[in-house]
Structure 1
């Protein structure tokens, strides 16, 4: 569960931060406390030496024990009721020499003590002063206990707040997840996603909405394509079926001329079906987007396409260019566009008229000398299966210019169609500079 994982991460981060702060603070304070203890022992030893020299009574401190170590190693306890402190060889050497100091730590009855031995300049020997660490250890334990308590309380508060706040932050994501699960289960692309709001979650929701809009459009286009394809396929299939049934019923009783005519019809309709199916596959599979992008010289591309059509049709096809530009495009897909434009131009214009291709920077237009295009048809001719009234008798599927539109749209370009002032139609496209 994402909420639990994020809460655990937040709590772990807080614990790590507190531990780092606590260890840093403890390590910073501990040397100061140790130095203060050492300074207290030294000050107490100086006080004891001064009092001994003055012959005044020694004030008793409950956490300290003092004794006098004579030059011969004899111990004289200065704090009544206290056990004598253990004496080491280093302490005796200081007492015998009457100079130097020595600091050690000892344990008595499981209690730690700090012991300072300091030479007595006047009178010989040395004084030994000890301070137990019970109070210091109590303060240290209390510090650790309070720190642990505060840490636990802070972690609990952070865990609760993180759980609540992360739940609030993740609420839009949960709503989005619920909506996407519903869409996945029901396949209902019309489902509206929750209000995106702002921030990263809002961006994610808007991206999902854009994706759903694209999917809705794609599904609608697919459904329309299937419906239109079924309609367009029905005519050639009916013709093929009728011709085949006629041959089947006749069983050789047709005259050679009639049989040849029926067979010619079959071949023509089969070719039309083959072309239609091929164009449908191109539209359905969107193959032109799989080709990698490359730099393309529009003038060279147009000349190659024109040369193929010259050989195929025997038509006069001219290619002119004004400041042609290099564009970034898919070469084979763009060649398919020019081929379709040339095919339309040669199909819908008299056989003895020329076709002209003109390139102006990134704009390519194909002009024919045919009847032109009605103003009402200029936008619709790029729709799938659209056939203008004046061209319905001309062979074709009505998909050529639809493929042109789809390929140019995939290149972020635009298509256009119109009439030339001197007669004939002009159909072409404009691509963004490459």
Structure 2
């Protein structure tokens, strides 16, 4: 990177925009000025050429020039030409100049006209003192006999040069004023246009400094700045919501962990005090105490596992989806459910249904649904599991059911029905189920069952036959 480019990158954005506008305007004005100057020069030269072509040398000047040559007089050193210089050119390159004109350098094209090999000549030349002139040479009739003589009529280019110089000064002044005005206008436009960006910058700096995610930026219009402001507001709202969910998750997890930890600590202290004092607990009390410790450890392990599963962000993409047989995954989950409820009767009716999902996550979700049915079913009751030909999976238990006022809360994290707080569980199972099914495009709903109990209905998009495999 060149030092100039590095210096430009260190300037504020509005300064860079103003400089870019000024440079762009300067280039445009310079191009327009040069074009205007060139066109004006070409037009003036064309008018001068037309004037020379339409100008006939006065007979007196031609006579005077021929007379001076006949007398052998030298060309005058200074003269006031009036409208133009006039001289007669011989075919050997000599010239005859009247006393009122100045001699102009004869060129080959002038001699060619004098010799009759060229009709006319139009070119630039100089006087004896080096002044630039425009020359037009042609053959003209002269005298009573009408004999042809070669006459060169010249006009000084100084009159064009002076006009062009004045025009160049005028264009330079106008271009300078335009560039300065463009720079000022560019700076004003940059400041006005970047004012919303300044507000956005201050907002970002405020959030970074204070971690205040409640700040919102006014977004008006449909331009890029308004879209950026709305995106920033959406981002801070999402971050605030995520932080609130994280804080709520931590608070709820701490609350749920406190009860089993307190009970576990009490039981461990009782065992330790018994060992320290030498007073052994009765065998039946010790057995009950150890069973309580084991149950609390199991509950803690289950709660920690649910927290690990739920700790992934809601927007986290699931693992690779693949076509799986839902009826096969249901059968695998049923095997685990039977181990948890050996005294229950599980009635199964499964039709083939194929879905796109992550197999391990889907099986965990189905196990959680079946666990709830097993946990709330009375001993010896039946759990009915059915997968219809249209892909609807229903799990029906014959437990106490869920009151209607509690159904809207069953999928909330750590929510547990007051009637179920004495049973093991963390209140996270159905929340994990709902999120897993949402990631696969499915849904779950709980409703009271006719005759008592609860029906869990699961719908996942799929087909009754597997899709054809590509070779």
Task: Compute the TM-score of the two structures, normalised by the length of structure 2.
Answer: 0.78
Equivalent residue number for residue 172 of structure 1: 196
Equivalent residue number for residue 64 of structure 1: 84
Equivalent residue number for residue 29 of structure 2: 18
Q: Residues 377-400 of structure 1: CA distance to partner in whole angstroms, max 9, x if unpaired?
A: 101111111111222222111111
> What is the CA distance between 1:141 and its match in structure 2?
2.2
- The answer to whether structure 1 residue 400 and structure 2 residue 429 are counterparts is yes
> What is the CA distance between 1:13 and its match in structure 2?
2.5
Q: Residues 287-306 of structure 1: CA distance to partner in whole angstroms, max 9, x if unpaired?
A: 88242463556xx2353133
SS at match of 1:371: coil
Instruction: Tell me, in whole angstroms, the C-alpha distance in 2 between the residues paired with 1:309 and 1:86.
Output: 116
- The answer to whether structure 1 residue 277 and structure 2 residue 304 are counterparts is yes
CA contact (8 A) 1:113 1:133 kept: yes
Structure 1 residues 53 and 94: alpha-carbon distance in aligned structure 2, compared to 1, 3 A threshold: farther
Equivalent residue number for residue 301 of structure 1: 326
Equivalent residue number for residue 104 of structure 1: 123
Structure 1 residues 237 and 73: alpha-carbon distance in aligned structure 2, compared to 1, 3 A threshold: closer
Instruction: Tell me, in whole angstroms, the C-alpha distance in 1 between the residues paired with 2:39 and 2:201.
Output: 50
Structure 1 residues 326 and 110: alpha-carbon distance in aligned structure 2, compared to 1, 3 A threshold: farther
Task: Compute the TM-score of the two structures, normalised by the length of structure 1.
Answer: 0.84
Instruction: Tell me, in whole angstroms, the C-alpha distance in 1 between the residues paired with 2:391 and 2:21.
Output: 56
CA contact (8 A) 1:321 1:358 kept: yes
Instruction: Tell me, in whole angstroms, the C-alpha distance in 1 between the residues paired with 2:177 and 2:161.
Output: 24
SS at match of 1:378: helix
CA contact (8 A) 1:346 1:355 kept: no
Equivalent residue number for residue 91 of structure 1: 110
Equivalent residue number for residue 46 of structure 2: 35
Please provide the CA RMSD for this pair: 3.4
Equivalent residue number for residue 117 of structure 1: 137
Structure 1 residues 168 and 333: alpha-carbon distance in aligned structure 2, compared to 1, 3 A threshold: farther
Q: Residues 111-135 of structure 1: CA distance to partner in whole angstroms, max 9, x if unpaired?
A: 4222232234652441112222212
Q: Residues 389-417 of structure 1: CA distance to partner in whole angstroms, max 9, x if unpaired?
A: 22222211111112223344556765432
Instruction: Tell me, in whole angstroms, the C-alpha distance in 1 between the residues paired with 2:401 and 2:297.
Output: 30
SS at match of 1:225: helix
Structure 1 residues 368 and 26: alpha-carbon distance in aligned structure 2, compared to 1, 3 A threshold: farther
Instruction: Tell me, in whole angstroms, the C-alpha distance in 1 between the residues paired with 2:368 and 2:451.
Output: 23
Equivalent residue number for residue 141 of structure 1: 165
Q: Residues 93-147 of structure 1: CA distance to partner in whole angstroms, max 9, x if unpaired?
A: 4324485333332344554222232234652441112222212222222222222
> What is the CA distance between 1:196 and its match in structure 2?
1.3
Structure 1 unaligned spans of 5+: none
Instruction: Tell me, in whole angstroms, the C-alpha distance in 1 between the residues paired with 2:299 and 2:267.
Output: 15
Instruction: Tell me, in whole angstroms, the C-alpha distance in 1 between the residues paired with 2:315 and 2:219.
Output: 34
Equivalent residue number for residue 7 of structure 2: none
CA contact (8 A) 1:41 1:130 kept: yes
CA contact (8 A) 2:61 2:86 kept: no
> What is the CA distance between 1:163 and its match in structure 2?
2.0
Structure 2 unaligned spans of 5+: 1-11, 66-79, 340-344, 464-471
Equivalent residue number for residue 75 of structure 1: 95
CA contact (8 A) 2:104 2:126 kept: no
- Greater displacement, 33-42 / 356-365: 356-365
Equivalent residue number for residue 212 of structure 1: 236
Equivalent residue number for residue 370 of structure 2: 342
Q: Residues 178-218 of structure 1: CA distance to partner in whole angstroms, max 9, x if unpaired?
A: 12211211112223x23211132222222222222222222
Instruction: Tell me, in whole angstroms, the C-alpha distance in 1 between the residues paired with 2:176 and 2:366.
Output: 75
Residue in structure 2 matching 1:244, options 257, 262, 268 = 268
Residue in structure 2 matching 1:152, options 161, 176, 199 = 176
CA contact (8 A) 1:357 1:365 kept: yes
CA contact (8 A) 2:29 2:175 kept: yes
Equivalent residue number for residue 380 of structure 1: 409
Equivalent residue number for residue 162 of structure 1: 186
